[in-house]
Structure 1
Amino acid sequence: MQKRRLIAFTITKPVRNFVGLTLLFVIIWTLSGCDREDFTDSPNAMVEFSVDTLMFDTVFTERGTITRYFKVYNRNDRAIRVKNARMENSDSFFRFNFDGFSQDDAGEVIIWPNDSTYVFVEATIDPDESISASPFVINDRMLFEVNGNTQDVRIKAFGQNANYIPANEATGGVALLSCGGGTVVWDDPKPYVIFGVLVIDDCNLVWPAGTRVHVHGGIASDGQIVYNDGLIFTGPNGRILSEGTADNPVVVGGDRLEPGFAEIAGQWSGIRLGETSGPHRFEHTIIRNPIIGIRSDSATTLDLNAVTILNTTGPGLVGIHNNITATNCLIGNNGGHSVQLSYGGDHNFYHTTLGNYGNQLEALRIDNFFCYDPPHCDNIGLNPLSVNFYNSIIGGNGRDEIRIIDVTNREPGFMNFSFDHCLVRVFDLVREQSYPEFFEENCINCINYELFNPLFTDLQNNDYRLDSLSAAIGQGKPLPEVSLDIKGNPRDPDAPDVGCYEWIGN
């Protein structure tokens, strides 16, 4: 920018008054012209921040206040105006001071060329407040208006007294739990809140009865892809043992528990049991609101007893070339298949309820292949599949709630499945080109129930207990090894009900 200079000179007395007045106007014009040229209003001229997320990593055990700061940089060669700095939420937990101005007075802040200034942010947290008033993770954004652009810094704080893992990072981080083949027990009565990705490697992680695990899912990036990073993952030598009881289950879900979020699907990624890990066991465990409930990869063994998986945006349970045994389990309100068993494996389900209502996919999908080059699938792998369902409900509002894909065209030994005393919904599956002998050879003593017949108590509220007129009542065969239902209620020893719940009369 070309700078104007003020030149000193002497004025003779006869013309001093006139010239002085003229000079005053020149000075005013010069100063106003300099003001216009010294500030940039280009939309391409913006500020930079020392952080993209300001993290308050202190865990409060009582009401307290803490202050953190970040810097705002002007990398431009001309001054810049930052207008209307504010918190996004009007009832924010945070207050700020921007370049010495309180948030009520920070209507316009000037940052000179190649200069910077500070923003101090204060948070006041009361961990004794209810979750609805002070959630596990408090999120906000500080907004800055710069030359027609809105820029922001994310602000996060811990709102409850809990075990945060990792303790000092926001979303996008990876926490490694490794104990040399030993065992770690999460027996603190306070809940556990997981940020980012928890990797369990060379360690047995035990969740005793009553453990509450909340996963803070969020959008993250590794510089190449954007993903939801709220994930529990086991490495090859990792193992999860969830030891809930009927009266005191283990609960694993998102960290948004306030009204309006308790039933929202897809808040975190889910539980992924990596290849060769385990064996894993989940008893009386409730898994809520992930993208995928549990994915159990190749060569894993998974035992599920009285496990509930609800509100997923993808599949509820995925098994890939592994072994799964599920007893008294409920998997429902899924955006994908309730259960998807791929690339072979050996699977047995007893008194299990699949309730896949509200989407176009089947409740159960089974196949014996893996596609290495989707979507073309010119290169596939094959493995034999064995799937057996006993006294179970495979339900939904589609015409077919079972899909069977056998890429070997029924080559012996590669696709073995049976349903014994089950309630199912099939239509196209029993056509001539598919499995016309399904009810004679594969689904013994099954009921192909009508969609509008009473079955469950209240699907709208995820209540999969049996209706008093349900076709599932008394239709099972005795299984002495399954004498209780998902809630610990005794089953009829002679004619148990089908599904995870035993009907309890009024």
Structure 2
Amino acid sequence: MLLFIGSFFITSCDREEFTDSPDAEITFSLDTLRFDTVFTERGTITRFLKVFNPNDKAVRISEIQLENQQSFFRFNADGLPQEEARDIVIWAKDSIYVFVEATIDPDQSVSASPFVIEEKLNFTVNGNTSSVLLEAYGQNANYVPFKEATGNIALLSCNGGTVVWDDPKPYVIFGVLVIDDCTLIIPEGARIHVHGGFARDEDFIYNDGLIFVGANGRLISEGTAADPVSIQGDRLEPGFANQSGQWAGIRLSAGSGPHSFKYTEIKNSIVGIRADSATTLNLEQVSILNTAGPGLLGIHNSITAVNTLIANNGGNSAQLIYGGNHSFHYTTLSNFGNQIEALRIDNFLCYDPPNCDDVRANPMQVSFVNSIIAGSGRDQIQIIDVTQENSGFMNFEFDHTLLRVFQLLRQDRYENFLEDCNNCLNFELFEPVFKSVPDNDYRLDSLSLARAFARPIPNITTIDLQGHPRDSEQPDAGAIEWKPEE
């Protein structure tokens, strides 16, 4: 009897030492456990974290489990490496160590071993789950910055000099790369991958995968037809090939530059290139594809584009605002799948949104020659002149260009737009232009209206986006010259 009573009290005390409150929390020594070793061959590395119980009673972690069944990681919470553990006790005001092991084989394909491997290690206490993010480098690449990750800012500065990213291995950018007091040259064949991820500050949650060029910085991309430059996200699995919004984009801040991109493909970002006030940007044989927002955003600056394709955009393909001086030759703007115009042109900026009592204007000069402006909606060009046609504040030219306009031709807008165009064609949606928009194939169809529609332009390159020669007498409109199937 005494033994029974003693056992009862011991058991009761043991129960009372544990909390079953759903409000009981555990905390961690870090929110992201990073394995920042770059492997050149298959290897294993171990890191650890501490798990704290700040409560006045013991807690029982009912389950510790890796998020994925096929994982690059294993952990040790009670003496044995494993993928999951159960009923781990942390006494009141105490802590435990959890050791995590990552095994990486950089010789695997990027689809099997991505540039950045991320997985959650989940801890369940009294029905509530909290997590630590595990992050490792899955490929032999140049990681910038080397030992930091999302949410951080890396400064590339070289006292007004030049840095060339000419290592044959890919470059993987974490967080925000700021280029200032420096010129970054990206040579032919370079592969730049930006690891976009959600970061937060006190006010916002945002995607922090960004290339930002400061006021004293320059960005020059020097691809060739044989070895173009690629700038995109770091998810290369087939399901992510055309997925927009994977990283923030490229921003050229006010007064920076001049900037130049040749034979360069920029894809899968939120904004392709944003060029702020007083910047000069030159695009030759450039593709900007699959953006969640605008493909090209120019704000009171100067842009020259030749043989450039901007397509599959969640916003305008080209958004040219607050005036500027812009020239586009042999350019294709293609924005199918939504009703947003492929091209927006305006000459104002609202300084106090959303009221817009303080609106300022700058003169706009823009020309499109031998180009295609296409999309799903009936209107693919939007022109807004806040000065109500004050002389010199809205000047545009369209020459030998295929386009789609309807509302723009209203009497209270630009009813003489087509008459003022020099040999423009206002085509219908069903008429043939591209080979296959659903497949993002913007080569010209064999029956395309753009074939032999352009005019030769002196002093403009006779090579198209893909490096093919153009017809010297009757070239095609748009970025890509038609050529027969081989």
Check whether TM > 0.5: yes
Q: What's 1:83 paired with?
A: 62
How do 1:349-360 residues align onto structure 2 when only pairs under 5 Å count?
349-360=328-339
Report deviation, 1:105.
6.6
Q: Distance in 1 between matches of 2:359 and 2:12?
A: 72
Cα distance between partner residues in 2 of 1:482 and 1:468:
23
1:446 aligned partner: 424
Matches within 5 A, 1:320-331: 320-331=299-310
Taking the aligned partners of 1:86 and 1:237, their CA distance within structure 2 comes to 48
Corresponding position of 2:246: 267
- In the TM superposition, what whole-angstrom CA distance separates every residue of 1:347-374 from its partner, at most 9, and x where no partner exists? 0000000000011210000000011111
**3-state SS of paired residue (2:10):** helix
Instruction: Select the residue among 369, 383, 386 that pairs with 2:365.
Output: 386
Distance, in Å, in 2 between the alignment partners of 1:59 and 1:501 is: 40
Report if the CA contact (8 A) 1:69-1:120 is conserved: yes
Whether the aligned pair in 2 keeps the contact of 1:99 and 1:118 (CA below 8 Å) is no
The answer for the alignment partner of 2:449 in structure 1 is 471
Q: Hey, what does 1:43 align to over in structure 2? A: 22
1:271 CA displacement: 0.2
Letter in 2 for 1:447: L
SS in 1 for 2:480: coil
Partner-residue secondary structure (3-state), 1:25: helix
The answer (yes or no) to whether the contact 1:270–1:294 under 8 Å persists in 2 is: yes
One of 40, 49, 72 as aligned partner of 1:93? 72
**Cα distance in 1 between the residues matched to 2:83 and 2:352:** 57
Deviation at 1:102, TM superposition (A): 3.7
- Normalising by structure 1, we get a TM-score of 0.95
Question: Which residue of structure 2 aligns with residue 17 of structure 1?
Answer: none
* C-alpha separation in 2, matches of 1:360 and 1:45: 50
Task: Please report how far the alpha carbon of residue 487 of structure 1 lies from its aligned counterpart in structure 2 after TM superposition.
Answer: 1.1
How far 1:222 moved relative to its partner? Answer: 2.0
Matches within 5 A, 1:31-70: 31-70=10-49
Provide the rounded CA distance (Å) in 2 between the counterparts of 1:123 and 1:137: 12
SS of match in other structure, 1:157: strand
1:154 to 130, 133, 144: 133
Shift of 1:223: 2.9
Residues 365-393 of structure 1: per-residue CA shift (max 9 Å, x gap): 00000111112211112100001000000
Structure 1 residue 48, shift from structure 2 partner = 0.2
* Deviates most, 454-463 or 181-190: 454-463
Q: Does 1:333 align with 2:312?
A: yes
Matches within 5 A, 1:188-337: 188-337=167-316
* Residues 335 and 376, structure 2, Cα contact 8 Å, conserved in 1: yes
C-alpha separation between the residues in 1 aligned to 2:213 and 2:173?
14
Q: Distance in 2 between matches of 1:187 and 1:104?
A: 40
Q: Once the 2 structures are TM-superposed, how far is the Cα of residue 104 of structure 1 from its aligned partner?
A: 5.6
**Quick check: 1:329–1:486 contact (8 Å CA) kept in 2?**
yes
Matching of residues 341-352 of structure 1 within 5 Å = 341-352=320-331
Structure 2: how far apart are the matches of 1:165 and 1:224?
Answer: 26
- Contact between 2:174 and 2:209, CA under 8 Å: does it hold in 1? yes
- Please tell me whether residue 455 in structure 1 is matched to residue 441 in structure 2: no
Give 1:101 deviation, angstroms.
Answer: 4.6
Moved more, 34-43 or 114-123: 34-43
Q: Deviations over 1:457-490 (max 9, x none)?
A: 0111111000000000001111132311111111
Among 37, 51, 56, which residue is 1:72 paired with?
51
Contact conserved, 1:196 with 1:229, CA < 8 A, in 2? yes
1:114 paired residue number: 93
Residue 468 of structure 2 corresponds to residue 497 of structure 1: no
Q: TM-score, normalised by structure 2?
A: 0.98
Match status 1:397 vs 2:409 = no
Which amino acid counterpart does residue 96 of structure 1 have in structure 2?
F
CA distance in 2: counterparts of 1:259 and 1:386, whole angstroms: 41
Distance, in Å, in 2 between the alignment partners of 1:113 and 1:451 is 69
- TM-aligned CA deviation for residue 494 of structure 1: 1.2
1 CA distance for matches of 2:361 and 2:352?
Answer: 14
Give identity over the alignment, percent: 63
Q: Is the 8 A contact 1:39 1:78 kept in 2?
A: yes
Letter of the 1:95 counterpart: R
Aligned to 1:12: none
Query: Higher Cα Rg: structure 1 or 2?
Result: 1
Gaps of at least 5 residues in structure 1 are 1-21
Cα separation, 1, equivalents of 2:100 and 2:14: 31
Tell me how far apart the structure 2 counterparts of residues 61 and 129 of structure 1 sit (CA, whole Å).
11
Contact 1:85 1:103 in 2 (8 A): no
2 CA distance for matches of 1:488 and 1:132?
Answer: 29
Structure 2 CA distance, aligned partners of 1:360 and 1:501?
A: 24
Relative to structure 1, the CA distance from residue 350 to residue 105 in structure 2 (aligned partners, 3 Å threshold; closer, same or farther) is: closer
Kindly provide the amino acid, as one letter, of the partner of residue 28 in structure 1. S
Cα distance, 1:267 vs structure 2: 0.1
Shift in Å at residue 25 of structure 1? 1.8
CA–CA distance in structure 2, aligned partners of residues 301 and 452 of structure 1: 37
Q: Report what 2:152 is aligned to.
A: 173
- What CA distance in whole angstroms lies between the structure 2 residues aligned with 1:104 and 1:450? 58
Deviations 1:161-181 (A, max 9, x none): 000001001111111000000
